[in-house]
Amino acid sequence: MSGFIPVYEPDLGGNEKKYLAECIDSGWISSEGPFVSKFEKNFAQQVNRKFGIAIANGTAALEVALLALELEAGDEVIVPSFTIISCIQAIIRVGAKPVLVDAHCTTWNMDPDAVESKITSRTRAIMVVHIYGLPVEMNKILELSDQYGLKIIEDAAEMHGQTYLNRPCGSFGDISVFSFYANKLVTTGEGGMILTDDEHLAERCISFRNLCFIREKRFLHYELGHNFRMTNLQAAVGVAQLERMNEFMCRKKELGMLYTNLLEDVDVLQLPLRSTAYAENIYWVFGVVLQDDYPLDAKDIMLQLLKAGIGTRPFFYPMHKQPVFRKMGLFSDDELPVAEKLGDRGFYLPIGLTLTNEQVAYIAATLKKVIEDGY
């Protein structure tokens, strides 16, 4: 098959051009334009939330969400080690302390059974991060939140359209965040959204994303905020994308099941779970993990696939192994073997919305051959 197959390519074949032209023709290209509030309202409704606050990106959304919660220096936030660095750095930047838990070996999400042992008198919140296509087992987290009086920050960056027991992901946290990076189901290129049902938290988020201006006197400031605004151009793309979200979800599931059917006979690969008792996989990415007894590791396989014109990405590298945090004296005593295995042995295959069934068949066949040649 000729041509390079990227890990992800978005589908921009809806009303994106039309809405962008409206922005340009009207002159509303900044964060003051009408598509911003429309995107906020539409996305909040999609997740059954009262308030949506559009943000420059998902990383900024995490930091603003934590600022809104008014955590104090030394407060602890429990968070998975197997996640993107944005989660940990947001906790650190607001002066709190991240406390890591291991991943579950089959769902790859934070292990809810490992959370309670990490709770101390300084614990103020649990940051739930739904990973790759399946949600965290929320009932156990909610029980702990109620029992110990903890806030929940729900990172649903990868969970557009996903549900937990038929309730939308992003509707569980005291405050929740989404990302609209180019590889997300709904994209604005860059961008994010904070969702909450708490009007006070919403007002604080609105303030922090916009330099903490106040209504009574614009250039008088009582707190330090950020310029984390989303532009009307970005929001216009988001509105168009959201119109097709159900279509995108169906296609992702088709691609995930096609990969599963083609690769389920490869013994050395751990494939994503098709479903759990609380959710079906939406296959934001299609990840695979090499079994321990296979002689090559993820980077070896990825290199061979690249030579065949197939893009891949490694899994998240665990936070407790990150050099930047070790230099800061963090996590030196943490041993989290599942997160470590996923970081060393896991990678994901192309699963963009423009991917064809023929390309999936080629990728699967190539991966099988590469694995066979590796013995």
Same domain, 69 and 193: yes
Q: What pTM value is reported for the model? A: 0.96
Same domain, 208 and 293: no
Per the domain annotation, does 87 fall within a domain?
A: yes
Per the domain annotation, does 11 fall within a domain?
A: no
Same domain, 35 and 156: yes
Q: 280: which DSSP letter?
A: B
As a whole number of angstroms, the distance between CA 30 and CA 23 comes to 9
Residue 62, number of CB atoms within 10 A of its CB: 30
Which of 242, 275, 294 is the C-terminal boundary of a domain?
242
Per the domain annotation, does 64 fall within a domain?
A: yes
Same domain, 336 and 359: yes
Instruction: Specify the CATH number for the domain of residue 198.
Output: 3.40.640.10
Per the domain annotation, does 5 fall within a domain?
A: no
Same domain, 66 and 198: yes
Which of 242, 267, 291 is the C-terminal boundary of a domain?
242
Angle between helices 357-373 and 298-307 (to 10 degrees): 120
Same domain, 87 and 229: yes
The H or E element containing residue 76 is strand 76-80
Instruction: Specify the CATH number for the domain of residue 274.
Output: 3.90.1150.10
Contact 374, 301 (CB under 8 A): yes
Residue 13, number of CB atoms within 10 A of its CB: 11
Alpha helices in the chain (DSSP H): 16-26, 34-46, 58-68, 85-93, 138-148, 199-208, 232-242, 245-263, 298-307, 323-327, 337-345, 357-373
Same domain, 52 and 72: yes
Domain count for the chain, please give it: 2
Per the domain annotation, does 10 fall within a domain?
A: no
Same domain, 293 and 201: no
Which of 217, 242, 267 is the C-terminal boundary of a domain?
242
Same domain, 235 and 275: no
As a whole number of angstroms, the distance between CA 130 and CA 108 comes to 9
Same domain, 64 and 86: yes
Amino acid at 370: V
Task: Of 130, 166, 374, give the one whose Cα is nearest residue 280.
Answer: 166
Domain that holds residue 366: 245-373
Per the domain annotation, does 251 fall within a domain?
A: yes
Per the domain annotation, does 8 fall within a domain?
A: no
Same domain, 215 and 85: yes
Per the domain annotation, does 359 fall within a domain?
A: yes
Same domain, 118 and 78: yes
Tens-of-pLDDT digits for all 375 residues of the chain? 668 999 999 999 999 999 999 999 999 999 999 999 999 999 999 999 999 999 999 999 999 999 999 999 999 999 999 999 999 999 999 999 999 999 999 999 999 999 999 999 999 999 999 999 999 999 999 999 999 999 999 999 999 999 999 999 999 999 999 999 999 999 999 999 999 999 999 999 999 999 999 888 889 999 999 999 999 999 999 999 999 999 999 999 999 999 999 999 999 999 999 999 999 999 999 999 999 999 999 999 999 999 999 999 999 999 999 999 999 999 999 999 999 999 999 999 999 999 999 999 999 999 999 999 987
